[in-house]
């Protein structure tokens, strides 16, 4: 795999709390220059990123919802999603309600995700669900995939980047075995090298969330 080929898998990401408007503009410029699949920016910067990318850019615009802990009220997550879409986002990365999931309240989690999926589909928007694999056992990762599949989400994503670890090849392989073929996988968190990124793609990741994107594709 070449760096150019790998770039097409990457969501060029800036979600640090001290992200500035200038950083977001640079992120968008880099995404267009290197051919990244998407940029992923904080919700407050969606209008700026949409304006800076321009209407004809092939780069998708992603933002986060319920980030980074996931236990916001469902109505709050829905409002975040609605606002993000109105302001120009065409991909939503939402954190699953991990607290409810850990409590065994799978129906609540599934209903929330199904409602978000339905809303996103009505607006032609992709929904990626972050399950935060660092907080889950292998059995819980399998169950989370089952819940996401029942909600018919578009992607299941490993991590926020704010937990103790990010994606691993083992996580991706387990998720791929546990999900139907039509549901894609996004690996994120802690991806630093070309070799790591390539291994995650080979394991079954369809997208990679990276903040070190340029260093990765240049194999630096």
Close Cβ partners of 168 (under 8 Å, ≥ 6 residues apart): 133, 158
Burial of 137 (0-12, 13-18, 19+ CB in 10 A): exposed
- pLDDT tens digits, 34-52: 999 999 999 999 999 999 9
DSSP letter, residue 40: E
Asked if residue 220 has pLDDT above 90, the reply is no
Question: Where in the sequence is the domain holding 98, given as residue range(s)?
Answer: 3-217
Phi, psi of 136, deg, nearest 5? -120, 145
pLDDT band at 209 (very low <50, low <70, confident <90, very high): very high
Say what the pLDDT of residue 131 is: 98
Contacts of 55 (CB under 8 A, 6+ apart): none
List own/partner pairs for 29-34 with CB under 8 A and 24 or more apart.
30/213, 30/214, 31/57, 31/59, 32/57, 32/59, 34/7, 34/213, 34/214, 34/217
List the structure tokens of 182: 């039509």
**Confidence (pLDDT) at 67:** 98
Residue 55 has a pLDDT of 79
On the question of a cis peptide bond just before residue 68, with omega within 30 degrees of 0, the verdict is yes
Residue 121 has pLDDT above 80, yes or no: yes
Q: Which residues, including other chains, have CB under 8 Å from residue 193's CB and lie 6 or more apart?
A: 216, 219
For range 153-161, the mean pLDDT? 98
Of the pLDDT bands very low, low, confident and very high (cuts 50, 70, 90), residue 100 is: very high
CA distance 56 to 8: 17
- Stretch (H or E) spanning 129: strand 126-130
Share the mean pLDDT of the chain. Answer: 97
Distance (Å, whole) CA 29 – CA 52 = 8
- For 165-187, write each residue's pLDDT tens digit: 999 999 999 999 999 999 999 99
Instruction: Please write the tens of the pLDDT for every residue from 61-88.
Output: 999 999 999 999 999 999 999 999 999 9
* pTM, rounded to two decimals: 0.97
Provide the CATH number for the domain around residue 39: 3.20.20.70
Which backbone phi and psi does 151 adopt, to 5 degrees? -85, -5
Domain count, the chain: 1
Q: Would you please indicate which residues are annotated as catalytic (active-site) residues? A: 93, 157, 186
């Amino acid at each position: 795999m070449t760096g150019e080929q790998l770039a097409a898998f990457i969501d060029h990401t800036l979600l640090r709390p001290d992200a500035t408007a200038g950083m977001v503009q640079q992120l968008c410029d880099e995404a267009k220059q290197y051919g990244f699949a998407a940029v992923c920016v904080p919700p407050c910067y969606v209008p700026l990123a949409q304006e800076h990318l321009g209407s004809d850019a092939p780069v998708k615009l992603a933002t986060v919802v319920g980030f980074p802990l996931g236990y916001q009220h469902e109505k709050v997550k829905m409002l975040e999603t609605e606002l993000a879409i109105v302001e120009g986002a065409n991909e939503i990365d939402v954190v699953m309600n991990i607290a409810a999931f850990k409590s065994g309240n799978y129906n609540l989690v599934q209903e929330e995700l199904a409602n978000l999926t339905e809303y996103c589909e009505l607006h032609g928007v992709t929904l990626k669900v972050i399950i935060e694999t660092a907080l889950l056992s292998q059995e819980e990762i399998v169950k989370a995939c089952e819940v996401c599949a029942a909600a018919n989400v578009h992607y299941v994503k490993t991590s926020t980047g704010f937990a103790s670890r990010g994606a691993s090849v083992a996580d991706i392989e387990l998720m791929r075995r546990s999900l139907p073929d039509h549901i894609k996988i996004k690996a994120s968190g802690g991806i630093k090298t070309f070799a790591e990124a390539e291994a995650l793609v080979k394991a079954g990741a369809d997208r990679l969330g990276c903040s070190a994107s340029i260093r990765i594709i240049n194999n630096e």
